[in-house]
Amino acid sequence: MAEKEGEGADNDLISRYIVSNRENEAEKQTSAMEELKYRGKKREGRHGDTWDPFQLNPVGAEKEHKRICFRIAQYLVAVIVGLAVLASAVVAKGSLLVLSTLSSPSSLRTPREKQFYMLMLVFCLVCPNFLVFLKSLWRCAFKSFVRPNMKTMGFICMVECLVSLGTSVLVLVVMPQFDVLTNLFISGGVCIVSAILQIIFRLQTEKWKILFPVCSLILTIFGYCLLGFDYFVRVSTYVDNQSADCFIYIGIGILSSLLVSICWWENPLQATNRLQDTLSELEGFRDFVFVISSILRIIVIGAVYLFYHVLIQKSIVWSDFNLNNDEWELLQTGLVLFFLQAFCSAACHWFGVVACKIHSVRMSFALPVCCTGPTVLLLGLILFLTQSQKLEGAEKGSIIDFCESLASLSHKNTTPVVLLELTRSICRTSLNSYYLQWPFSMLAVEGVCMWSGFVTCTYYVWKIKVQRIERTSQLFVRRLYESAFIDLSLLLNTKMKVARARNQESHDDIQNCVIYLCATMWHETYDEMLKILTSMFRMDRYRGDPKEEHTNSFDFECHIYVDDAFMTDEDTGKRLVNSYVNDLIHVVTEVYRVFTNKEPDDVSIIEAPYGGRLMFVMPEGNMLYVHLKDKAQIRNKKRWSQVMYMYYLLGWKGYIVKNPQKIKRQNNPCRASLVSMDGESYLLPQYDNDNKRKFISDDNTYILALDGDTDFQPKAVILLVDRLRMYENVGAACGRIHPTGMGPMVWYQKFEYAVGHWLQKTAEHVFGSVLCSPGCFSLFRGSALMDDNVLKRYTTTASQAAEYVQYDQGEDRWLCTLLLQQGWRVEYNAASDAYTNSPQEFKEFYNQRRRWGPSTLANTLDLLHSGAETVKRNSSISRLYILYQMFTVGSSILGPASVTLMIAGAFQFVFQLSGTISIIIASIPPVFYIIVCFIAKANTQITIAGIMSVLYAFLMTASFFSIIGDMVVQGTFLTPTGLFLVSMAIMYFVTAVLHPEEFGMIIYGLMYFICIPSGYLLLTIYSLVNMDNVSWGTRESNKGGGQAKKNQSILCDKNCRLCCWDMKIQISQETENLMLQQITAHTAQQVVPNTTKEITQEPASVDKPEDEIKNPKETAVKLAEKPPINKLRRKGSDTASTSSDNSFETRSISSSVSHKDLNKNNFMIDAQEEVEDLPVSDWVLPVKQEFLKKLTYANMKRNLQEQIRYTLRNRDYDEVCDELVLMLTDTLNRELNGVGPEDILIQSQLEELQYALTEQARHILKTSRLERLERRVKIAIEKTLTAPQVQKLDENEKDFWSKLIERYLRPIENPKSHMEEVTRELKSLRNKAVFLYFIVNVLWVVATFFLQAIGNDVISIKIPKYYPNGTESGEYLKVEPLSLMFLLSFAVLLIIQFLAMLYHRVYTLIHVVSYRGTEKDYKERDDEEEEDGFTLENHFSNGLVVTSDDL
C-alpha cells in the first residue's frame, strides 16, 4: 500500500512537471503571437499610407531589459561574498583566540606545547607583513621605483614600528594572561585614536553626526573601566587564584591598544586638507616604504617575542624545538590553527575588497564584519553549552564543581583538547566565583561597550559611496591588514570620503566624460553599415537626452568617416557621392525609422575641404556626423582617417574650448549657437557637447575607435570607460572581439579569436600590458593620444620599407606600441563584447593575415628593442614581461618548424614510417610552397595554399585518430604526445567552462586543430614572402566607382529632353528627382499660405526652360530656397515683420510662423542671420533629394503621429494626445487629398499644411484647456515639415581643415622613381626576413633530424611508462631531448596563461556584477517642461548670456 502511495506521489510530481512545462510553452507561444500581432498591426497602419509598408528590423534594435537571471546572480554573488567575509573573519579571529588560550600560562598544556603555540602566534603576526613585503618588493623590482623622501619615510617607519610594538605586546604578552572572553572584547579598543581624530577635525558632513565618534570614545573608555573593575572583583574573590599582577597587564594592554590604534592615523587626515602634500608624496614611494617598514615590523615582533619570553619569562627552551618523527603529532593542532588564521585573514581582506567593488558595501562588507565579534561569541557559547558536558571526567554539577574537575583532565593533542582549554579559560571568569557571580555581567557589558564603540567609530562605512571597480587604494587607506584584528582592521582602514569643496579635485565622485564614437568605413556592405548604425542608435537611447544627467555621467557624439566616398560620373564629369554613400544614407534613414517610426528630423548637408559632411540629430538629441572623404582632396585609408578625427576632436575642439576668445562664434555664442523660441532659449545640439567640453579635462575625453561593421551594446562601452576612469595610467582599453559570419573560415577564426582572448590577451593584461588594442573596438584616452611622441609620431608618412610594414599594415598595433613606449597601459576587458565581420573567403583571410603577421612581428620587435627604456617609463612592463614576450616571439618564429615536425609525427603515426623519412617527407611541401610564393602570382599562391590546406586537414584528422589509437595500443595516455593532447583538451575545456556564454566555441576546436598547418605554416610562408605587397588586400571593391545613377544626371543629358514624362513615374513613386518636380510645379510656389485652394498635382509635361537644365548650380540654389517666412524682430516695444523670398537658414530648431501667429504672444527669435545664397557642389543636390523623401505624404503622416506622441509622452496627456493624433491625421488627409503617397510636397503645399495643422491643434488644445502645450505641439508640427538644410562650414573650422590637410593629410603623390626605390627596399626586407625565418626553422628541423638519425638508443631521455591506474609497466618511453624541451616549454607557457586567465576571470566577474548593480532601466519618462513665463534656460552653458541683439 505504501509503495502504491509512493508511486502515486511520483506520478503526481511527473504530471505537475509536464503541466508546468506545457504552461511555460504556452506562455512563450502567447508572447510570440502577441509580438507577431503587434508587428502586423504596425504594418497595417503603414500599409494604409503607402504601397511599400515593409521595413527592416535590425537585430538588437529592441530596448535592453534587465534579465532576471542576472539579478538573481547579482544577489547570489553578494550573499556568497558576504558569507565568505563573515566565515573567514570568524575563523581567523577564532583561531587567534584559540592559539592565545593554548599558549596561556594557565593552560593545562606542557611547556613544550605552550612555547610551540606561542611561536605559531608569532608566525600569525609575521605572515601579513611578509606578504606585503613580497608584493612591494615585486613592484619595486619589476614595476616602478621612486626615490623616497627620507624625512617622510622616517616618520612612516617610526609609526609602523610603534604599531608593530603595540600589536606584538598585546597579542604575545597581554592576551595569554587573560581569559578568552576578555581577549575577544579587549581588541575593540583599537579605535580610540581614530575617534579622537574624527572629533578634532570635525569630519562629519552633518554636525549632529559628531555624536558617533564621541559615543565611541566614551563607550571605549567605559569598557576599559569595566575591565579593570571586573579583574578587581576577581582578585578580591580569589577567582581561579587570580593574582594582583593582572592590573599591570591591563595597563599594558590599554597602552598597547593605543599604539595599535595609531595604525589608521592616515584615514582621518586624508579626509581633510591637512598633510595633503605629504600624503600625495607618500603615494609615489609607498611600495619602497612598505618594503622597509614590513622588515622593521617583523624585527619588532621578533624582538618582543625574544625579550619577553626569553629574557623575562625564560620560557623558551631551544632544544624543545627539535622534534622526532613520533612527536610531530603533538603539533598538528598548532599548525592547522596557524594556517587557518593566516589564510582566512588574507581571504577576509580580499573578500572585503570584492564586496566593496561589487557595490555591496552594507550587506556583504559592513554587516558581516560588524557581526564577526558577536558571531564568535555566539559560536563559543554554543560550543561551551553543548560540548562541555561531553568531556570525560568532568563533574556534571554546578559550574564551580565543573571548573574544578577540569584541572585533572589530560588528553592527547587533538580537537577535544581545544575544547578543554576553551572551557578552562571560561572558568577563569567570575562564573567560577564562590562568593559573587554577578560581576560576570560586567564582563558582558564590557563586551557590548567595546563592540558598540568600534561600530559607532566606523559609522561612515554604512553610508560610503563607491564606484564600479573602485581602485583598492580608493577603498582602503593602507595595503597592509592587521591579521590579529581583522574585523576592526577592515572597518577602520576603509577610506573616509568627505565632501570636498568644488575647487578641489576628488576621486570620490564619478567624473563627467565625453566619448567620441569614431567609425571608419571602407567599402562596407549595407548589412555591415546597419550594424554600426544600430549600435550608435542604441547608444543614443541608452544615454537619453544630453540635457539630462546620466547615472554613468557621460556625453557622446558619433562620427563616421567614409573613405573613398566620391566618384566622377563618366557622362557628365561631375564629382558625386558613390553607391556606398547612398547605401549609408538609406541605412541611417532606415535605422532612424526603426527606432522612432519616423524619418530623421534635423538633417544638415555641409561642404568641407575634405569632401562633405552630413549632420543628424539622433532621436534623443545626441549628434551623428558623417564625414565624406574625397580621396582627391585628402588621404584615404584607415590610419589617415584616425589622424583626421584625432586632430579634429582633440586638437581643434580642444583648442576652441580652451580659447573661446579667439573664435568669433565662441566669443559670442548667442549669435551662432543659441536659438530662442517662444520664450525659451536652446543651445543647438551640435554646440552642446563643445560647451560641456570646457569643463572636462583631456584625461576624461575618450575616443572609441570603431570599424564600419562593428556591432556592440552600450554596456560594452561603459565597461571600457570604467577601466579608463578608475586607472589614470590606462591609455587604452579593448574588449572581447567576436568574429561573425558563416563558413569554415569563420569557424576557424571563432576558436582562434576565443583562444587568443581567453589565454593570450588575459596573460598580457595580468603580467604586463596588452600589446594590441584592436581598431574595431577600442577606447582611447584623449590625454594619452595627445602625449609626446604619440599622435605627432602617428602622422609620420612611411618612406622606408620597414615603415610601410609597421605603420600602415597594422596601424592599431603601432598606435598601442607608441602608447606603451610613452608609459601608458593598455588593458583588456573580457565582458565588453563587440562583434565584427570576419573574412569568409580563404583569399580574403590570407590577405588580411598577410598584413597582420609582418606588422605584429615588426611592432613586437620594436617594443623589445626599446625594452630597457620602456621598462623605465612604463610601470606596467617589467623585465620579466619583456622576457615573456621574447619567449612568445621565439615560439612564433619556430612555428613553421614545429608544425613541420608535427606533420612528420603524423606521417610516422599514420604510415608507420621511420623518424628520418617522416621529417624529409614533411619538409617537402613547405619548401615547395616557398618556391611557389616566389615565382607565382598572389592569387595562384592562395589557390595552391587552399589545396594544400585541405590535404593537410585530412592528414591532421588521420593523425588525431592515430594518436588516440596509439594510446589504446600502449594501454596508457601517459606518453609525451598523449599527455600533451589530453592536458590540452582538459585545459581548453575548463577554460571554455569558465566562459559560459562562449562555451559553444569549443565545438570549433577540432576545426582549428586540423587547420593548424594552414594557419601556422602556409600562412606564415605566404605573409613573409609577400611582405613587399603593402596593399590593403581586403574590401578592394570597385562598387562605388561606377557610373552615377541615371536619375542623378538626366538633367544634364541633352538627349533626354523628351523623356521627362517618362521620368514622372520615378518622380511620383520613388521621389528620385525632386528637381524635375520642382520645375514642373514652379507656378505653385507663388501660392499664398492662407489660401484654401485645393492642392493638385501639376502635369509633368510642362516644358522646362533650356537654361535651367544647362545650369545645374543655379537650379540647386533654387531648390535650396526656403518659402516666404515671416520673421519677428523685437525692437523695444515694436514688432516688425519682414519676409524673404530667397532666404537660406541654418537652424536646428526652426519655425515658420503663419499670419495668425502674429496675433499671439508666442514668437520665434532666430539667432542666426540670413545667409546669402551659396553655390553648392554637384554632390549636394542628389544627397538632399534622398532626405527630401521625408516630405512625402506617407512619411509625413507617420512622422506627425510619432512627433505628437513623443512631445506629449507624459501620461497625464494621453487623452489629448490621442485626440491630437486623430484630428491632425484627418486634417492631413483632407489637405493632401489629391497627393500620391510617394509624392514630395512643394513649399507652398507645406505652408498651407502647416497653417491648417497649427490651427487645428490650437483649437483642440483650447477646447481641452491645455493652451500651455500649444508651443510644444507647434514645434512638433514644424519639425515634421522641416526640410533638410544645406549649411556653410564655419570659416574658422574651414581654415583648420585646410591647414590640417596641407600639413598632414594631402594626398600622397610619390614619383615613380621613389616608388621603385621603395619596392626594391621592400623586396630586400622581404628577403632578409624570409632568410632569417628559413635559417632558424631549418636549424631546428635539422637538429631534430640528426637526433632521429643517431637513434633513440644513443641520445634519448628514458621516461618510465605508467598505466592509468598508477602502476609502473616496467617499460620505458624514449624521447629526444630537443622535442621534450620544446614540449615542456610550450606546456609551461600554456600553464602560465591558464593561471592568468583564472585571475582575470575573477576580476571580470567582479566588474560584471558591479555593473549589473547600476545598470540602466529603460522607463517611460513623465517629465514636463516649465511652460509659464518668459524663461531663458541654457543647460550646461555656465555663463552663456543672451544679448539685446539676439532679442
Sequence-distant (6+) residues with CB within 8 A of 1032 are 522, 637, 851
- For residue 582, report the phi and psi dihedrals to the nearest 5 degrees: -60, -40
H or E element, residue 704: strand 701-707
Q: Which residues face 836 on adjacent strands?
A: 739
The 3-state DSSP class for residue 603 equals strand
- What is the pLDDT confidence band of residue 1313, given thresholds at 50, 70 and 90? confident
State pLDDT tens for residues 159-170.
999 999 999 999
Q: Both ends of the chain: CA-CA distance in Å?
A: 96
Q: How far apart are CA 444 and CA 226, in angstroms?
A: 10
Higher pLDDT, residue 385 or 1086: 385
Q: How far apart are CA 516 and CA 701, in angstroms?
A: 8
Segment 192-215 shows an average pLDDT of 82
- What is the pLDDT confidence band of residue 1242, given thresholds at 50, 70 and 90? confident
Q: How far is CA 123 from CA 130, 301, 375, in A?
A: 10, 9, 25
Strand 1134-1140 to 777-781 pairing: unpaired
State pLDDT tens for residues 467-484.
777 778 778 888 788 888
Question: Which three cell numbers mark 507?
Answer: 576621486
Segment 1064-1074 shows an average pLDDT of 39
User: What does the DSSP assignment read for 1176-1195?
Assistant: --TTHHHHHHHHGGGGBHHH
Against a cut of 0.85, is the pTM above it? no
663-667, long-range: CB < 8 A, 24+ apart: 663/1292, 664/1292, 665/1290, 665/1292
The number of beta carbons lying within 10 Å of the beta carbon of residue 526 is 15
Question: Which three cell numbers mark 157?
Answer: 617607519
State pLDDT tens for residues 1404-1423.
988 888 887 666 655 554 44
Note whether 897 and 1333 are within 8 A (CB).
Answer: no
CB neighbour burial string for 1165-1179, b if at least 16 within 10 angstroms, e if fewer: bbbbeeeeeeebbbb
Q: How far apart are CA 763 and CA 770, in angstroms?
A: 8
- What is the pLDDT confidence band of residue 934, given thresholds at 50, 70 and 90? very high
Question: Which three cell numbers mark 483?
Answer: 591579521
- What is the pLDDT confidence band of residue 784, given thresholds at 50, 70 and 90? very high
- What is the pLDDT confidence band of residue 392, given thresholds at 50, 70 and 90? low
Most confident segment among 24-38, 339-353, 1152-1166:
339-353
Q: How far apart are CA 253 and CA 192, in angstroms?
A: 13
Question: Which three cell numbers mark 335?
Answer: 599548525
Q: How far apart are CA 674 and CA 672, in angstroms?
A: 6
State pLDDT tens for residues 75-93.
888 899 999 999 999 999 9
What does the DSSP 8-state code read for residue 1003? Answer: G
Q: How far apart are CA 926 and CA 1340, in angstroms?
A: 14
Note whether 458 and 467 are within 8 A (CB).
Answer: no
Q: How far is CA 744 from CA 535, 747, 841, 846, 1022, in A?
A: 27, 5, 9, 14, 20
State pLDDT tens for residues 1283-1300.
888 888 888 899 999 999
What does the DSSP 8-state code read for residue 771? Answer: S
- What is the pLDDT confidence band of residue 826, given thresholds at 50, 70 and 90? very high
Closest CA to 1176 of 1306, 1043, 1289, 1292: 1289
Q: How far apart are CA 1015 and CA 1056, in angstroms?
A: 56
Segment 858-881 shows an average pLDDT of 90
Compute the residue count for the chain.
1447
Angle (deg, nearest 10), helices 1312-1350 and 915-935:
170
Q: How far apart are CA 718 and CA 725, in angstroms?
A: 10
Question: Which three cell numbers mark 917?
Answer: 623519412
The H-assigned helical ranges of 262-409 are 266-270, 276-284, 286-306, 332-357, 361, 367-370, 372-387, 399-406
Identify the pLDDT of residue 398: 62
Note whether 656 and 664 are within 8 A (CB).
Answer: no
State pLDDT tens for residues 1036-1047.
665 555 444 434
What whole-number percentage of the chain has pLDDT above 90?
A: 30
Strand 513-521 to 554-562 pairing: parallel
State pLDDT tens for residues 716-770.
999 999 999 888 899 999 999 999 988 899 999 999 999 999 999 999 999 999 9
Note whether 488 and 453 are within 8 A (CB).
Answer: no
Q: How far apart are CA 918 and CA 305, in angstroms?
A: 69
State pLDDT tens for residues 1343-1372.
888 877 776 555 666 666 666 666 666 666
Identify the pLDDT of residue 790: 93
The residue assigned the cell 548637408 is 605
Starting at the earlier edge strand, list the strands of the sheet with 611-617: 711-712, 825-837, 730-740, 777-781, 701-707, 513-521, 554-562, 623-629, 611-617, 603-608, 1285-1287
Cα angle vertex 628, ends 703, 739, to 5°?
55
Segment 779-787 shows an average pLDDT of 94
Sequence-distant (6+) residues with CB within 8 A of 936 are 944
Q: Rounded mean pLDDT of the chain? A: 78
Q: Which residues face 677 on adjacent strands?
A: 680, 1164
Biggest alpha carbon–alpha carbon distance for the chain = 126
Identify the pLDDT of residue 1111: 41
Question: Which three cell numbers mark 23?
Answer: 504552461
Higher pLDDT, residue 331 or 343: 343
Q: How far apart are CA 150 and CA 904, in angstroms?
A: 64
Higher pLDDT, residue 1241 or 666: 1241
Q: State the Cα torsion 75-76-82-86 to the nearest 10°.
A: 150
The 3-state DSSP class for residue 872 equals helix
- For residue 1076, report the phi and psi dihedrals to the nearest 5 degrees: -65, -40
Angle (deg, nearest 10), helices 976-993 and 1377-1412:
10
Q: State the Cα torsion 914-915-916-918 to the nearest 10°.
A: 80
1303 exposure class (CB count in 10 Å sphere: 0-12, 13-18, 19+): exposed
Question: Which three cell numbers mark 254?
Answer: 590599554
Q: How far apart are CA 772 and CA 811, in angstroms?
A: 10
What does the DSSP 8-state code read for residue 476? Answer: B
What does the DSSP 8-state code read for residue 652? Answer: I
The 3-state DSSP class for residue 1242 equals coil
